[in-house]
Amino acid sequence: MLKKWEYYEENKEKQEKIVRKFNISPLLANILINRGIIEEEDIEVFLNPTRHSFHDPYLMPDMKKAVERILQAIKDKQKIMIYGDYDVDGITSITVLKKFLEERGLEVGAYIPNRLDEGYGLNKEAIKQIYDKQYRLMITVDCGISGIEEIEYANELGIQTIITDHHEPAETLPNALAVVDQKIKTSIYPFRGLAGCGVVFKLIQAIGIALKLDEKEYLKYLDIVCVGTISDIVPLVDENRVIAKLGLKLVNVTKNIGLKTLLDSTGYSVIDSGSISFGVAPRINACGRMGFEQEALKLFLTEDKKEAMAITEKLNQYNKERQETEKKIFEEAVQMIEESEKDKNCIILGSQNWHHGVIGIVSSKVTDMYYKPSILVCFEEEEAKGSGRSISGFDLHEALGKCSSHLERFGGHEMAVGLSLKTDEFEQFKEEFEQYAENSNIKELVPVIKADGQITLKDFRVDFVSELKLLEPFGEANKVPLFIYRNLKIDSIRALSEGKHLKLTLKDGNTVIQAIGFNMGALSTEYLIGDKIDMIGTLEINRFNGFESVQMNLKDIRKSY
């Protein structure tokens, strides 16, 4: 598929000012400008965050109320129940708050709804169980902001609730004792992008300040908070960057036995945002997806190395099962698309044999492959549950709103949704949605790759690529920089790994440049030696036999004009 290339223009005036002040290269200065990091104070915090870079936790809505109630619980030795989500953000949030409160002498329980049986968020049956176990104070983490009816039910039972969440609230807030969420309209908190575990960190920071604790009593949890933050794909800027940058230092020397054991099992030699995103997060999330959410929490809470190793083995097995299930569903979906859906503006598929814990991942892969919005639905007798992913420029949540007459429930945002409906309503829903997509602008939408700038041979240096490490950790809103390199002559071109990947050597004058394109092997037959091409991709250092060289990891190539 033809992709549109865009790149940021240089701002020479701002660039030169940053170069002089921070002694960095013009290209790196321009990347900071591209990311909207322009003010000297913001650049300093971005490049060199410290423990003093955190915002005042008491700027969060209802923080004072929440802290005062928890201090009362500490004084009176009251039991507290933490109610969290089953993903990495939820698991890490529970871990941090539970450990911190237990160190303050409290008895702390934890409730995680089963994804397959209960679904996301609060439910009344769970709240009744919490009441029956004599808990009268409940703190939600990474959920609760939409639980208006459930919080009223808790109030009726006599359970007080403190909500800590990071999701978008509705016009009406739950009638909880305190609602700590930086996205509330009246919030004056200077950063909206915290993950659920980030909000929990602000809570324990606020409690620590109130109790006049040493900073290390809450800072020591940044390793776990960092894992949750990176895994939840929130923007790694502002306070999230402080959490991630400082937290990764602690992850590398973590004292959490479960986290260390899990990291060791992933096989990553370097612990960075990538090893968290692709090594740790899938294994933790696999527990929730496969219905074994308690195992992930046990791993982070255990103090026993043998238990940690046993749980890690289970997590790796769950992840393997998740991968196998995902692969099977993806292959079935592609077959269905190729047979009857390929020419449609969107992809709506349903099957009785699919696992609704993993269809979201498959939907994402389908959307990436065909560059069309997709919704995958699994039929469970009379009920059906679905998950969808979109492309830039098509608001999937809005589309569901226009086609909701056949839906029981739906939620999410522009790019990702979840939904439920009656099985016998699926065909009518599919027809209605396809008609909506037909009348939209999907056909005009093409993938856009936006580069940080154009480079030439003088930038293709090990020292420049090393300098880019100042931008780490990479993640949402702080992606690995992309560059365009133009007018290169193909010196050699071949496919690797049975045609899967692409390997190129290119010439800029008399200098040979290396490039590799993963999953781009099919392009090896579209270009000839001697062709002039432009390429776009990331720069990386290739180490071989003690020798370092720069190569480009390709995202796309095209013939030069």
- Segments making up each domain of the chain, as ranges: 4-48+449-559, 53-221, 343-444
485: which strand partners? Answer: 455, 535
Which residues, 6+ apart, have CB-to-CB distance to 2 below 8 Å?
446
Which band of pLDDT confidence, cut at 50, 70 and 90, is reported for residue 160? very high
Look at residue 411 in the predicted model and tell me its pLDDT. Answer: 80
| pLDDT over threshold 80, residue 116 | no
Which band of pLDDT confidence, cut at 50, 70 and 90, is reported for residue 543? confident
Residue type, 165: D
| pLDDT over threshold 90, residue 5 | yes
- Per the listing, tokens 């420029």 go with 393
Look at residue 345 in the predicted model and tell me its pLDDT. Answer: 92
Average pLDDT score, the chain? 94
- Per the listing, tokens 């769970």 go with 126
Look at residue 155 in the predicted model and tell me its pLDDT. Answer: 97
Could you tell me which CATH number the domain at 4-48+449-559 has? Answer: 2.40.50.460
Task: Give the C-alpha separation, 426 to 446, whole Å.
Answer: 29
| pLDDT over threshold 90, residue 170 | no
| pLDDT over threshold 90, residue 412 | no
Which band of pLDDT confidence, cut at 50, 70 and 90, is reported for residue 516? very high
Task: Give the C-alpha separation, 11 to 20, whole Å.
Answer: 14
80: which strand partners? Answer: 108
Task: Give φ, ψ of 58 to 5 degrees.
Answer: -75, 0
Look at residue 217 in the predicted model and tell me its pLDDT. Answer: 97
| pLDDT over threshold 90, residue 356 | no
Look at residue 444 in the predicted model and tell me its pLDDT. Answer: 87
Tell me the per-residue pLDDT of 467-483, one tens digit each, with 9 for 90 and over. Answer: 999 999 999 999 999 99
Task: Give the C-alpha separation, 161 to 176, whole Å.
Answer: 5
Which band of pLDDT confidence, cut at 50, 70 and 90, is reported for residue 16? very high
| pLDDT over threshold 80, residue 119 | no
Which band of pLDDT confidence, cut at 50, 70 and 90, is reported for residue 545? confident
| pLDDT over threshold 80, residue 1 | no
Tell me the per-residue pLDDT of 18-33, one tens digit each, with 9 for 90 and over. Answer: 999 999 999 999 999 9
CA atoms in the 13 A half-sphere facing the CB of 471: 27
Which band of pLDDT confidence, cut at 50, 70 and 90, is reported for residue 381? confident
- Are 36 and 42 in contact, with CB atoms under 8 Å apart? no
Look at residue 443 in the predicted model and tell me its pLDDT. Answer: 85
Look at residue 435 in the predicted model and tell me its pLDDT. Answer: 93
Q: Evaluate whether the domain defined by 53-221 bears CATH number 3.90.1640.30.
A: yes
Look at residue 261 in the predicted model and tell me its pLDDT. Answer: 97
Look at residue 353 in the predicted model and tell me its pLDDT. Answer: 84
Task: Give φ, ψ of 235 to 5 degrees.
Answer: -65, 125
Which band of pLDDT confidence, cut at 50, 70 and 90, is reported for residue 560? very high
Tell me the per-residue pLDDT of 318-327, one tens digit each, with 9 for 90 and over. Answer: 999 999 999 9
- Burial letters for 137-158: b for 16+ Cβ neighbours within 10 Å, e otherwise? bbbbbbbbbbbbebbebbeeee
Separation in Å, CA 245 to CA 21, 41, 96, 161, 215: 22, 17, 18, 32, 17
| pLDDT over threshold 90, residue 333 | yes
Which band of pLDDT confidence, cut at 50, 70 and 90, is reported for residue 547? confident
Task: Give the C-alpha separation, 141 to 143, whole Å.
Answer: 5
CA atoms in the 13 A half-sphere facing the CB of 299: 28
Residue type, 12: K
Look at residue 390 in the predicted model and tell me its pLDDT. Answer: 95
Tokens of 113: 């709804």
**pTM higher than 0.85 for the full model?**
yes
Tell me the per-residue pLDDT of 182-215, one tens digit each, with 9 for 90 and over. Answer: 999 999 999 999 999 999 999 999 999 999 999 9
Which residues, 6+ apart, have CB-to-CB distance to 386 below 8 Å?
350, 356, 359, 375, 376, 377, 378, 418, 419, 420, 421
Look at residue 71 in the predicted model and tell me its pLDDT. Answer: 98
Which band of pLDDT confidence, cut at 50, 70 and 90, is reported for residue 149? very high
Written out in words, the top-level CATH class of the domain with range 343-444 is alpha beta
